[in-house]
Homo-oligomer: A and B are copies of this chain.
Amino acid sequence: MNPVDALIDALPGGRVLTDRDVIDSYARDQTYLEPGEPLCAVVAQTRDEVAATLRWASEHRVPVVPRGAGTGLAGGATAVEGCVMLSLARMTAIRELSPADEIAVVEPGVITADLDRAAREHGLMYAPDPSSYEISTIGGNLATNAGGLRCVRYGVTRDSTLGLEVVLADGRVLNTGRRTMKGVTGYDLTGLFVGSEGTLGVITAATLRLRRAPSVPPITIAAEFPSPRAAGDAVAAIVAAGCRPLLLELMDRGTLEAIDAWKNIGLEPQVRAMLIAQAEGDRPEEAALMERLCEQNGAGFVAVSGTPEETAELIGLRRLAYSAKERLGACLVEDVCVPRSALPAMITFIEEAAARHDARICTVAHAGDGNLHPVFIFDRGLPEPPPGVWAAADEVFRAALDLGGTLTGEHGVGLLKRRWLGLEAGPVVTEVQQGIKRVFDPLGILNPGKAI
């Protein structure tokens, strides 16, 4: 029997998709990267269907590329040649939500913002909020250890993950972690799976930590600066002053122009950067301090939002930044993260690299974490970024490492950053990681060629 027929036998009920156009719609994420041609796709609805798929894949040595909503920005879910695309997007149950223990047990296809909304009905929140959180899935967030706007205060996805249900390459089920706030029984397998980009197993459920939602609406500040560097200096001053913002986001002129071109926000010519900061609603003195520090660092205009509606509109604009850039062309998105004190230097370097190579770069940053997303925009007609973009991108990656930073703060390595991986991970790290990979995936069928 041919392998696909065997899979259909194992998974009846229309779970296996074989129509070429349909399969191809599962083969890409948000990157420009050209996918390989998948053998077929599976849309799993249960853990047991995932297990059956992996048993079949092991038997037939078929590569497995797990996939959530396909909102990834590094090629982690890009199809490899001859693979099965394993979609978890239909596993959308919130199996449990316990306000008393402040945890939720969810399946990987749950949309991030849906979990957050479900938690808020109980005065709680799910903190990690990648910009794409209205369309991204928890499974994808776990695969990349996603961050977001709020993680300057609440940490990244790993910090909210207590335990996992994982189907291993051979179809066995592994349960990691716990339901408790603390626990040190055995090695931290939970943390190992988070951020492993589907290369060690397929997550079919997660026990996630919820947090108490602020009871008072936050105070939101938007400050306009004459240069990104000045905004970076304000960020450094805010951190140094001991403020603990709920979020602290930076957008450069290019980003603001992209948003203005779409949503007409009335951008004035002298504005070269904008900082959005949020203080807890019952900490007006912290909001006032952040406002003052923006002014002292050159902010020309500082607006303080009065109402939740104004705040929502402002944050909504920030969340549109990536979509606004996609309207301008194909995008190569970087995700460098530097020590917070190096943020102004990194911003300056990005501007200089763009000028040197005549590359169009728009930058947004989770500035409070030192995490920058320089987005290189190029002609959509090109099969891949032109040489000037590659050259500038290469220089930015190297500069981030030189400043004590890392290639990726929250998007993952995927396919996109493999060519720079050796600069950050030396030979001993690489050998150890490959050893771990072999423990979980001796046949090398799980998302091969990604992450490590």
Residues of chain A whose beta carbon lies under 8 Å from any beta carbon of chain B: 98-103, 123, 144-145, 147, 151-152, 155-156, 158-159, 168, 172-176, 178-189, 191-192, 194-196, 200, 212, 215, 236, 239-240, 242, 244, 337-341, 366, 369-371, 404-413, 417, 421, 424-426, 428-429, 432-433, 435-436, 438-440, 451-452
Contact = CB atoms under 8 A, between A and B. Distances in A.
A187 B411 CA distance: 13
Contacts of A435: 439-440
A4 B154 CA distance: 50
Interface of A, secondary structure class, is: loop
Copies of this chain, complex-wide, total 2
Contacts of A451: 186-187
Contacts of A100: 236, 239-240, 339-341
A421 B440 CA distance: 22
Contacts of A404: 179-180
Contacts of A189: 429, 432-433
A169 B165 CA distance: 31
Contact of A174 (B151, B410, B428): B428
Nearest to A440: B432
A240 to B, nearest CB: 7
Contacts of A151: 182
B168 A428 contact: yes
B187 A413 contact: no
A188 B195 contact: yes
A10 to B, nearest CB: 21
Contact of A184 (B178, B182, B410): B410
20 contacts: A100-B236, A100-B239, A101-B340, A102-B340, A168-B428, A178-B337, A179-B405, A182-B366, A184-B409, A184-B411, A186-B421, A186-B429, A187-B433, A188-B195, A189-B429, A192-B192, A215-B242, A432-B440, A435-B440, A436-B436
A407 B439 CA distance: 26
Contacts of A438: 439
A77 to B, nearest CB: 15
Given A432-B189, A433-B189, A339 B183 contact: no
Contact of A186 (B168, B182, B433, B439): B433
A159 to B, nearest CB: 7
Given A158-B188, A242-B123, A409-B183, A341 B101 contact: yes
Given A369-B182, A371-B181, A410-B182, A212 B101 contact: no
A436 to B, nearest CB: 6
A184 B341 CA distance: 20
A57 B133 CA distance: 50
